[in-house]
Amino acid sequence: MAEAQRTLVLIKPDAVQRELVGEIVGRFERKGLKTVGMKMTNLDEATLTEHYGHLKDKPFFGDLKKFMMQTPVIAMVLEGYDIIEVVRVIVGATNPRKADAGTIRSDLSMNVPSNIIHASDSLEASATEIKRFFKDDELFTYEMLTDKFHFGEGV
Ligand code: IDP
Ligand code: MG
């Protein structure tokens, strides 16, 4: 059986302001992804400078960090097979106006930086990002009755 993997999701301040947290969490739950960590947290500038380091030379870097500090965010760690790809497919392209219909960004947003959600783009990044936002004792390993559907060999 394949190994389940983990990814880091941030539900951004625009989604918190627009009361879309339940809608987004519900989409991941209905898909069959297991929530193994979840909390509300304020992001600070140092954390964001690190998290968005690949964008530090972009003209919008300062505004992006300000945007991400407007309200607390919801940080989640999700577990499942092919988790990076599965979550990025559900999230959709960075520009919500170009994202595929049915994705979170396409269905719920119109602009950057306010595109609702962050998701790790590789397993390497997810390992770093999970450590950035969660302590070991904030992550959980547990059985669910539905595991047989999502992880089993068939029922
Ligand atoms: P991703 O979130 O799809 O992985 P990245 O290129 O890593 O996309 O960019 C991180 C975040 O920076 C985006 O989700 C978006 O919020 C913001 N962003 C990206 N490009 C722009 C831009 O051209 N203007 C303003 N914000 C942007
Ligand atoms: Mg990215």
* pLDDT tens-digit map of 123-147: 999 999 999 999 999 999 999 999 9
Q: Which of 64, 87, 126 for mutating ligand 1's site (highest number of atoms within 8 Å of CB)?
A: 64
pLDDT for residue 155: 62
Joined tokens for residue 125:
């990044």
Helices and strands per DSSP (H, E), number in the chain: 8, 4
CA-proximal residue: ligand 1, atom 8 (nearest) = 94
Question: Do residues 114 and 67 touch, judged by C-beta distance below 8 A?
Answer: yes
DSSP conformational letter for 2 = P
C-alpha 129/C-alpha 51 separation (Å) is: 7
Does the pLDDT of residue 90 top 60, yes or no?
Answer: yes
What is the number of the ligand 1 atom nearest to the C-alpha of 115? 16
Question: Do residues 108 and 23 touch, judged by C-beta distance below 8 A?
Answer: yes
Does the pLDDT of residue 75 top 80, yes or no?
Answer: yes
